Amino acid sequence: MTRRFFVLLALAGSAVAATPALAATFGAVPATLTVERPRRVTEVELSSLDARRVIFDVSVRRGESGEDVAASSDVVVVPPIFSLAPYGVVVVRIAFRSPPPAGEEHYRVVATEVISPVEQRAGRVPRTVVVPLTRR
C-alpha cells in the first residue's frame, strides 16, 4: 500500500509540474501609457513567453467605469484582434480622433485571451493584460 501511495504521489507531482508549461505568460512594454498634447497616438508591445500561439482581443476602457470605448468613433485600436506567435511580440497602437481634453482622462488598454468554448466549459478563465493609459 505504501508503494502505491508514493507512485500516485509521484504521478500527481509530475502532473502539477507539467501544468505551468500549458499556461501562457504575457507581458506589456511599457507598463503604463501616456498620450500628451499634441499627440493622439500611443503604442504598446505585447509579448509571449510561452511556446503556444494565443489569440487576443484588445479593447480600451474608460476610467473606473470600465465602459468599452474602443467601439466608439473616437478610439481606434490596431490591431483589435491578433494572434501572438510563440515567443512573439505584437505592437498595438491606440489612436484618439478628438483632441485631448483640458484635464486628464484615464483609460485601461485590456488585452483578453480568446479561448475556445470547450476551454470555457472546462472552467478555464481567459487571461488578460491590462495597461493603464492617461490622456492629457
Number of DSSP helices (H) and strands (E) in the chain, helices first = 2, 10
CA-based nearest residue to 35, from 92, 129, 107, 130: 107
For residue 84, list its beta bridge partners: 54
Mean pLDDT by 10 residues, the chain (136 residues): 43 37 72 92 92 91 69 83 95 92 88 91 90 91
CA-based nearest residue to 96, from 58, 64, 69: 69
Residues whose CB falls within 8 Å of the CB of residue 58, separated by 6 or more in sequence, listed in order:
70, 77, 79, 80, 81, 82, 92, 109, 110, 111, 112
Distance CA 84, CA 118 (A): 20
Residues whose CB falls within 8 Å of the CB of residue 37, separated by 6 or more in sequence, listed in order:
99, 100, 136
Buried-exposed string 1-12: b where 16+ CB fall within 10 A, e elsewhere: eeeeeeeeeeee
Query: According to the model, what pLDDT value does residue 20 have?
Result: 38
CA-based nearest residue to 90, from 34, 23, 36, 26: 26
SS3 of 21, please?
helix
pTM: 0.75
Domains, in order of start, for the chain:
23-135 (2.60.40.10)
Query: According to the model, what pLDDT value does residue 68 have?
Result: 65
Query: According to the model, what pLDDT value does residue 99 have?
Result: 86
